[in-house]
Amino acid sequence: IDLDTSPAAETVQVTVRALYKVTARDAAADADDMLDIFAVEDDEEDQMLVERALHEARLLNQLTVVSDGEAVMDVLQRRGRFADATRPDLLLLDLNMPRQDGREVIRAMRSDPDLRSIPVVVLTTSGSEEDVQLSYELGANSYIRKPVTFEKLVHVIKTLGTYWFEIVELPRGTL
C-alpha cells in the first residue's frame, strides 16, 4: 500500500509491505501475531537497502517505510488519514531527516504515554559521539551505525531480529 500525503506542499510517502516471518515459531502463528517494523528513512536508496536486508534476513512479517519524522508521528499518533494505522513492534530510525529529525521523533515518542513503550533503534550513518549520547539520553533503546556493505547490514538486521523478536518480550496488543 502506498499512501501519499502533502503537508506543507511536500510529498510524504508511507509504504507498507508484507515480508517474511522471523522464526519457525512464528511460521505457525496467525495473522494477529505478525510483527510490524517501521523504518523511518528519507533516503530512497537506504530505504531499499534496509528492505532488502530485512528480506534477506527473513526477519519480519510487515515493513512500513516512512520518509520523514513528521510523517511517522502522524502515523504513530493516528492523525488524519492514518486513524486506523497499526503501531510498530519496533522502530528503525534515521537521525538526519528533513522536517522533523530522528532526535525530535524520539523526544516526542518518549513524552507520549501511548508511544513510549515502542522500542526505538537508531540506524544512522552518524558516528558522532554527541549523536550517540543524545539519542540514549532521549530514550533510544539502541544506536547502530549503518554498515558500509550490504552483507554487514544483513548481519546487523539478523542480529536485531534475534534480539528484539526472539530474546526479549515486547508489549503486544496494548499499542
Q: Does the reported pTM lie above 0.85?
A: no
Over residues 134-152, the pLDDT tens digits come to 999 999 999 999 998 999 9
What number is the average pLDDT over the span 125-142?
Answer: 96
Nearest to 90 by CA among 54, 131, 126, 56: 54
SS3 14: strand
**Whole-angstrom Cα distance, residue 149 to residue 101?**
25
The DSSP secondary structure of 108-155, one letter per residue, reads HHHH-TTTTTS-EEEEES---HHHHHHHHHHT-SEEEEPPSSHHHHHH
Are the CB atoms for 123 and 143 separated by under 8 Å? no
Tens digits of per-residue pLDDT, 67-98? 889 999 999 999 988 888 888 989 999 999 88
